Amino acid sequence: MTAQVKRAEGGPVLEVADLSVAVRTIDGELPIVTGVSFRVEAGQMLAIVGESGCGKSVLTRAIVGLLPREQWIVRGSARLDGVELVGQGPRAMRRVWGRDIGVVFQDSLTALNPVRTIGAQLTESIRRFREVNRATATEIARGALSSVGITDPAARLRAYPHQMSGGMRQRVCIAIALLGEPSLLIADEPTTGLDVTVQEQILDLLAARCQDENMASILVTHDLAVAATRADEVVVLYAGEVVESVASESLMSARMPYSRSLLAALPRLDDAIHSRLAAVPGQAPLPAEVGPGCRFVQRCPIRVDDCATHHPSFHADDGAGHGVRCWRTAEAATTAVQEQP
Amino acid sequence: MSAREAIDTVQTTPHDQVRPALRVERLDVEFDVDGGKLRAVSDVSLEVAENETLGIVGESGCGKSTLARAILQAPPPTAGSVWFDDQDLTTLKGEDLRQVRPRLQLLLQDPTSSLNPRQTVWHSVAAPLRVWKRGTRAEQDARVAEVLKQVGIDPERAKHSRPAEYSGGQCQRICLARALALRPDVLVCDEVVSALDVLIQAQILNLLEDIRDLYGLTMVFIGHDLAVVRRVSDRVAIMYLGRLCEIGPTQMVFDHPAHPYTRRLLDSIPLVESATETRTSAAPTGEPPSPLNPPSGCRFRTLCPKARDHCAVETPELRQTGDGQWVACHYPNVPVTAARP
């Protein structure tokens, strides 16, 4: 079976259902991501937010089929325009990469081949998708660079990656990801490591291109503020599972204590200088340390005994699609996150 | 009066703080690179008062880290002086310089690579005390235990654990303990929370504030995240391409940024609470110029919305716009209250 993808009218571009990822170790399977479900519609941007080690990159790599099968086990379903991606081999996925899903990674220096010019790398991708001669491919490449806001594209085609700034290289990566006119763009920490003014430019560019092409997109980020200001929907991941899913304009009224701690720990421009931040103690459990109850339990300011023994299910009951994984959401909504000693 | 004489009279400390712990005068740092000289820091003068935290903000390549290292004489600046305790550090050599070093300590971004992976954490924190032969062995051990407790690391565990057994946030605590072991007067923090997740970042920022109070430290806090730097700094300096754009009391600079570059930085920060606002203005495009070939006159003029012909000709000097707030701009956003004395 090949993953020939045809856009189904009206449905979500990507529908992820109960997706779990585990890594094989000498002690057996170690779950990294458990039971993740979400959907992304055309023209919508979904942000997946979490701290390092929460499984956000593993999750997106599992969807795109970039995890080697020898080491990783992916279960559940990820349907792109109705076609199942989980279980597809590399040969089938090769037809999906670039054409149906475009991917932009954090590190543009390693994403690009250091010994080939930008032009060579662009035209290679173009000729993978279209039967065009070299001159036409160069013409398309020039247009692709202009479309991501690169000035003097003709000169840039002759440049090597190291001759460009990080922001410029990330623009090139975006241009390459968009060459095949994918229906889904996945950007994994696309602006981490870039300066704040360059970050703003790159995020503007991503938003504009996704809007122009009515593309579905997933923005993976550790930065809550980036997610809130850019995405339509925010999915918060903690220790490998979704703990909250909320429209970005409602993020400030997040109910899961973890999401609330994240919000409270962000330095804001109206805080008093030298004031202390509301910091929850400890750190997220490692995959091997996950207990039977809520995964945030050791750090949670409003935990009760049952939280350590009973795993809360993910429930969306407010009618607005705001989903939370917590036993004590009623209490969470009214309790401020207190600073811990 | 020549420009050189003029800047010597510029006072960049608030008037109520009399004794500067550190005074940097007309500092230049140049590096030899292929095809000429890179002037990483150009003509920077500033003061840090005792028990004060000066924040230095700027984007990559602006010279903020180079400035910090030049203050610590590691490596020494190409020109200019650094006054500390009535001595010009740039004139000290050999043993004289070595004797000053314990009083000025540096904390870096990557704590794991700052610690010897093969030695116990206890050994690393004790090393400065052993090298400087401070007290008896028992006194040294007592001091190590004390300082580890102050940063929230269990001394018993530290005796037999190596850095790899600790998380990034804990390693940063260990580096802080080592920096504090000799009771320094000045602590320079270079992007110390940049690699940490937001909850850990909050813990470390709170710890730094507690430690600052406990030791009465004078701090230079370098960062690219404006909200973070604002939170811990009494005054802030904004750098662009090796030069000071603006310096002043934190609240004043953030409330009334006088330099167009400061305005631009502030406008680029994504804020969670503004998620509901529709983004009106797109970020200005344009690549930042190379530090190898900075623009003539004002270095920000190529990206500045207010730039006029004059900006290309004359380099702006620092002028006062408010009580203790100084700006290097021909057309500042805040009216100049006093020209150079």
Tell whether A56 is within 8 A of chain B (Cβ): no
Q: Do B59 and A195 touch (CB under 8 A)?
A: yes
- Is the Cα dihedral B87, B93, B96, B101 positive or negative? positive
Eight-state DSSP code of residue A270: T
Residue B275 is nearest to which of A199, A201, A251, comparing CB atoms?
A: A251
Query: Which residues 271-300 in chain A show a CB within 8 A of chain B?
Result: 271, 273-281, 283
pLDDT tens digits along B171-183: 999 999 999 999 9
pLDDT tens digits along B309-333: 999 999 999 999 988 999 999 999 9
Please calculate the CA angle A209-A213-A218 and round it to the nearest 5 degrees: 65
* Predicted pLDDT of residue B278: 60
pLDDT tens digits along B59-108: 888 899 999 999 999 989 999 999 998 999 999 999 999 999 999 999 99
Tell whether A43 is within 8 A of chain B (Cβ): no
Determine the average pLDDT of the residues in B143-163: 97
* Predicted pLDDT of residue B281: 57
Query: Which chain A residues touch B199 with a CB distance below 8 Å?
Result: 51, 261-262, 265, 279-280, 283
CA B82 and chain centroid, separation: 14
pLDDT tens digits along B1-23: 344 444 444 444 444 445 689 99
- Nearest-angstrom CA–CA distance, A278 and A264: 6
What pTM was computed for the model? 0.86
Q: Do B231 and A274 touch (CB under 8 A)?
A: yes
Q: Is the pLDDT at B238 greater than 50, yes or no? A: yes
Angle of the A257-265 helix axis to the B198-215 helix axis, nearest 10: 50
Band of pLDDT at residue B261, cut at 50, 70 and 90: very high
Half-sphere exposure in the Cβ direction for A277 (13 Å, CA): 30
Residue A249 is nearest to which of B59, B201, B276, comparing CB atoms?
A: B276
- Nearest-angstrom CA–CA distance, A293 and A306: 8
* Predicted pLDDT of residue A338: 46
- Cis (ω within 30 of 0) for the bond into B75? yes
Query: Which chain B residues touch A268 with a CB distance below 8 Å?
Result: 227, 271, 273
- Nearest-angstrom CA–CA distance, A158 and A206: 24
Band of pLDDT at residue B340, cut at 50, 70 and 90: low
Tell whether A222 is within 8 A of chain B (Cβ): yes
* Predicted pLDDT of residue B273: 77
Query: Which chain A residues touch B226 with a CB distance below 8 Å?
Result: 196, 269
A7 to chain B nearest CA, in Å? 30
Strand bridging mode A323-324 / B87-88 = unpaired
Query: Which chain B residues touch A339 with a CB distance below 8 Å?
Result: 206
A220 to chain B nearest CA, in Å? 14
Tell whether A301 is within 8 A of chain B (Cβ): no
- Nearest-angstrom CA–CA distance, B129 and B340: 47
| Residue at token pair 């398309």 | A140
B154, B198, B225: best mutation site toward chain A, by most A Cβ within 10 Å?
Answer: B198
Query: Which residues 81-140 in chain A show a CB within 8 A of chain B?
Result: none
Query: Which residues 162-201 in chain A show a CB within 8 A of chain B?
Result: 165-168, 195-201
ipTM exceeds 0.85: no
B199, B278, B285: best mutation site toward chain A, by most A Cβ within 10 Å?
Answer: B199
Query: Which chain B residues touch A226 with a CB distance below 8 Å?
Result: 270
Residue pair A95/A3 in contact by the 8 Å Cβ criterion: yes
Residue B227 is nearest to which of A200, A267, A281, comparing CB atoms?
A: A267
- Residue numbers in chain A where pLDDT is lower than 70: 1-10, 317-319, 332-341
Q: Residue B230: what are its φ and ψ, rounded to 5°?
A: -60, -45
* Predicted pLDDT of residue B271: 84
DSSP string across A64-79:
HT-S-TTTEEEEEEEE
* Predicted pLDDT of residue B275: 66
- Nearest-angstrom CA–CA distance, B158 and B90: 37
A104 to chain B nearest CA, in Å? 20
Query: Which chain B residues touch A269 with a CB distance below 8 Å?
Result: 226-227, 230, 254, 266, 269, 271
* Predicted pLDDT of residue A98: 85
Tell whether B275 is within 8 A of chain A (Cβ): yes
Order the strands of the A45-49 sheet from edge to edge: A101-104, A184-188, A216-221, A45-49, A233-238, A241-247, A323-324, A315-316
Query: Which chain A residues touch B270 with a CB distance below 8 Å?
Result: 199-200, 203, 223, 225-226, 228-230
A210, A269, A275, A298: best mutation site toward chain B, by most B Cβ within 10 Å?
Answer: A269
Amino acid letter, B23:
R
pLDDT tens digits along B185-218: 999 999 999 888 899 999 999 999 999 999 999 9
Query: Which chain B residues touch A225 with a CB distance below 8 Å?
Result: 269-272
Residue B205 is nearest to which of A168, A197, A277, comparing CB atoms?
A: A277
Tell whether A325 is within 8 A of chain B (Cβ): no
